[in-house]
């Protein structure tokens, strides 16, 4: 039976959601963490021997914290209040994090917002650090193998922009502008109005396909779905607590569309290891050398190290921990989707694309849909719009997980050992 909700409760939800969304949409966390190009130039000019000198624009948190307190004062005991409170706390920690740019306290709040490598995951046993280490151990035998990829090449930002411009056509008049910028804290950042690409970034052929699936078909699509006029404002906002699910969906999209590769998995895993190194007092130079050892690519190694230290302390001990969310999020999303199939709830999978949300919010979002505060998602990636392949894949994945492969692996391991 559907719960009944009064007109007053709906109006309350709209009001508090709009206020919280206005605060969250003004955070622009990754934009505020960007390093100017001169930092990289100076680092390489020093022979990679001097720590980068980075200055951040001061961020005043007072006004935002007062606005968040006003949101708290609106709480009236609604059945949705626990969800609202979770979002308020996430935004508050993000505001405090930005107020501490370049200090050790920045990393403290980063850990509260995104987590940290040694934090226990949903199973209360494993950690992101353990997942990353296991992933690197699994793919190590494949390093150096010829996998049929084309020779290394640098795909320019202008080419990526052309591919993305083609991809956003499906959004019609809601399509975001594709722009190339000089300074960015990542190779690409997607919003509902603009997708920015860093001018001097060097992309591989697979990077281009991954970015289309990751940035356009997930990040842009869910934001535009969330901004439907019938939706609560929260669903169309970049709330920090939704990052893990968003990035998990985006990496899963790369995988399910056949655009994931071993190098990409390795980069995600190495970033987790590097964050733990920085928490253990490794400096920017130490982490740069760690990446260089595994990539033999100075440019890529600098960019990977920059991701770890942006906003934090380059001398070690206080990194930005966001990059742990990719592997953790991927595992959560995959397990959720598999559980949806096993529990005969696959009809609710499209809810994940109704806007920006956490996996644990899906019950709340379903209730919002029932009372007219969450519309059907307009834009779904092909693999989620037509569930036939996804359900068959997830069913097979569940089947494999139930089979003891010990003897099978021993048999084929012995057989393969005879191949020379």
d(CA 218, CA 254): 10
**What pTM did the predictor assign?**
0.91
User: What pLDDT score does 357 carry?
Assistant: 95
Can you read off the two tokens belonging to residue 332?
């959560």
Q: Which residues pair with 120 in a beta bridge?
A: 127
Instruction: Please return the burial class of 272, using the count of CB atoms within 10 Å of its CB with bins 0-12, 13-18 and 19+.
Output: buried
Q: 97-126: per-residue pLDDT in tens?
A: 999 999 999 999 999 999 999 999 877 788
Helix 325-342 to helix 387-401 angle (10° resolution) is: 90
Residues of the chain with pLDDT under 70: 1-4, 143-153
Instruction: Please return the burial class of 315, using the count of CB atoms within 10 Å of its CB with bins 0-12, 13-18 and 19+.
Output: middle
User: What pLDDT score does 288 carry?
Assistant: 98
User: What pLDDT score does 145 carry?
Assistant: 62
188: part of which helix (H) or strand (E)? strand 188-190
User: What pLDDT score does 230 carry?
Assistant: 93
Q: In what order do the strands lie in the sheet with 177-181?
A: 177-181, 194-198, 188-190
Do 17 and 164 form a contact (C-beta atoms < 8 A)? Answer: no
User: What pLDDT score does 195 carry?
Assistant: 94
Q: 148-181: per-residue pLDDT in tens?
A: 665 566 888 999 999 999 999 999 999 999 999 9
User: What pLDDT score does 143 carry?
Assistant: 65
d(CA 306, CA 70): 36
Alpha-carbon Rg for the chain in angstroms: 22
Helix 284-295 to helix 298-309 angle (10° resolution) is: 140
d(CA 338, CA 367): 22
């Amino acid at each position: 039976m559907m719960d009944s909700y009064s007109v007053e409760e709906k109006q309350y939800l709209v009001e508090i959601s709009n206020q919280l969304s206005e605060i969250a949409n003004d955070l622009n966390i990754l934009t505020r963490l960007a390093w100017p190009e001169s930092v990289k130039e100076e680092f390489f000019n020093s022979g990679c021997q001097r720590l980068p000198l980075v200055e951040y624009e001061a961020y005043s948190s007072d006004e935002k914290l007062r606005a968040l307190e006003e949101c708290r004062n609106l709480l009236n005991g609604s059945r949705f209040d626990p969800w609202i409170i979770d979002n308020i706390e996430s935004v508050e920690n993000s505001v405090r994090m930005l107020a501490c740019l370049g200090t050790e306290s920045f990393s403290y709040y980063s850990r509260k917002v995104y987590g940290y490598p040694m934090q226990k995951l949903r199973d209360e046993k494993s950690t992101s650090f353990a997942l990353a280490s296991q992933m690197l151990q699994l793919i190590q035998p494949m390093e150096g193998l010829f996998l049929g990829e084309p020779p290394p090449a640098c795909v320019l930002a202008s080419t990526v922009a052309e591919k993305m411009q083609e991809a956003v056509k499906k959004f019609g008049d809601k399509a975001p502008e594709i722009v190339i910028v000089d300074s960015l804290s990542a190779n690409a950042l997607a919003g509902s109005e603009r997708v920015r690409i860093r001018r001097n970034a060097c992309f591989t052929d697979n990077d281009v396909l991954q970015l289309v699936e990751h940035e356009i078909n997930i990040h842009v699509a869910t934001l535009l779905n969330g901004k439907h006029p019938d939706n609560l404002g929260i669903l169309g906002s970049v709330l920090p607590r939704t990052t893990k699910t968003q990035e998990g969906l985006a990496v899963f999209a790369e995988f399910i569309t056949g655009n994931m590769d071993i190098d990409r998995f390795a980069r995600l895993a190495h970033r987790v290891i590097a964050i733990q190194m920085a928490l253990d007092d490794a400096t920017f130079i130490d982490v740069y050398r760690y990446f260089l050892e595994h990539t033999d690519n100075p440019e890529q190694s600098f960019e990977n190290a920059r991701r770890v230290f942006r906003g934090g302390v380059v001398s070690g001990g206080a990194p930005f921990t966001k990059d742990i969310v990719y592997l953790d999020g991927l595992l959560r999303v995959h397990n959720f989707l598999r559980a949806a199939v096993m529990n005969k709830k696959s009809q609710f999978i499209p809810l994940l694309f109704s806007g920006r949300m956490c996996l644990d919010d899906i019950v709340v979002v379903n209730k919002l849909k029932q009372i007219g505060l969450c519309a059907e998602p307009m834009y779904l990636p092909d693999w989620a719009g037509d569930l036939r392949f996804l359900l068959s894949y997830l069913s097979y994945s569940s089947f494999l997980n139930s089979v003891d492969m010990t003897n099978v692996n021993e048999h084929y391991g012995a057989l393969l050992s005879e191949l020379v």
